Amino acid sequence: MRVFSDISWLRAALSERADGNLRIGPDTPAAEKEKRESGRRTFLIQAGISGSLFTPFLTHSNRAGVVSDLPRPDLSKQSERAESFSATAQHYYIQDADALITSAKGAAIGVTVADCAPVFLADEKKKAIGAVHAGWRGLTTGILENTIAALEQAFGSAPADLRAWIGPCIGLCHFEVGGEVFEIFPPEVRRRTAAGLFVDLPLACRNALIFSGLLPEKITIDGNCTYCARDRFFSWRRDKPEDIQAMLAALAIAG
Ligand SMILES: [Zn+2]
């Protein structure tokens, strides 16, 4: 699924089930990691996304990492984990973050998702981008607000200039939560029915973006529910796999 195809300097896409399981975590066995890195590479090439790929090991935190103009984060330490894609494109894993931002050409940033929302941010004036993994934990502790603040701090982005895309995630139809989680969310994004307690994750993302100063007309909600759309997306809640299966949401500034 291509995203922001009207922005000429940007390449952004979300993989789908047919692209295979593209999740790579610190626990992924070496042989499987190699296979998934190959799958990521194929997906990125098909989406027209080039350069090195930076993905964080997700922890449902509220931390946003910056990929700088010289994306060579401590190669001595990274070299054990970084597998070569080719002579020019490498794969870097960032510890303990749930969002990445960059303004560097040749640095693709991405997050994996399987019910949590992928959120892309693009500053058309400053040519800066962000990729966010937004689940209920990150959302309620400010992952979107922190990512927007990081864009302001690192690249001088004004929130009103940001475009945002909230991708396929578990919808209100299937995001049933317990009472404690339900109470964290404001009334406008939650619903109590005979079936249980539900939260509207895309709407909660949208509200957090507006709270941070984004203009409503610059926010797009994809609207697909990962649980409902079995043929297209992995869903952790629906599939409950022993080994988490996930899509890759990635974007890059075209060189
Ligand atoms: Zn659903």
Question: Ligand 1: distance of its center to the CA of 104 in Å?
Answer: 36
* 106 Rama sector, left if φ>0, alpha if ψ -120 to 50, beta otherwise: left
pLDDT at position 41: 94
| Degrees, nearest 5: CA angle 105-106-110 | 100
- Residue 51 near residue 105, CB atoms below 8 Å: yes
Is the per-residue pLDDT at 111 higher than 90?
Answer: yes
Question: Ligand 1: distance of its center to the CA of 54 in Å?
Answer: 30
Question: Ligand 1: distance of its center to the CA of 26 in Å?
Answer: 29
CATH code for 2-170+221-253?
A: 3.60.140.10
Nearest to 236 by CA among 21, 42, 36: 21
- Cβ-in-10-Å burial (0-12, 13-18, 19+) of 26 comes to exposed
Q: Which residues of 210-243 are buried (b: 16+ CB within 10 A; e: fewer)?
A: eebebeeebbebbebbbbeeeeebbbbebeeeee
pLDDT at position 89: 64
pLDDT at position 80: 42
Residue 19 sits at φ, ψ, to 5 deg, of: -80, -5
CA distance 3 to 11: 8
Average pLDDT, the chain: 91
Residues 124-141 pLDDT 10s? 999 999 999 999 999 999
DSSP SS3 for 193: strand
Stretch 88-92: mean pLDDT, rounded? 74
Nearest to 95 by CA among 113, 82, 114: 82
Stretch 182-205: mean pLDDT, rounded? 97
Q: Where are the chain's structural domains? A: 2-170+221-253
Question: Ligand 1: distance of its center to the CA of 23 in Å?
Answer: 22
Least confident of 100-109, 128-137, 219-228: 100-109
Stretch 176-196: mean pLDDT, rounded? 96
Establish how many alpha carbons lie within 13 A of residue 163's alpha carbon, considering only the half-sphere containing its beta carbon: 17
Least confident of 104-108, 159-163, 202-206: 104-108
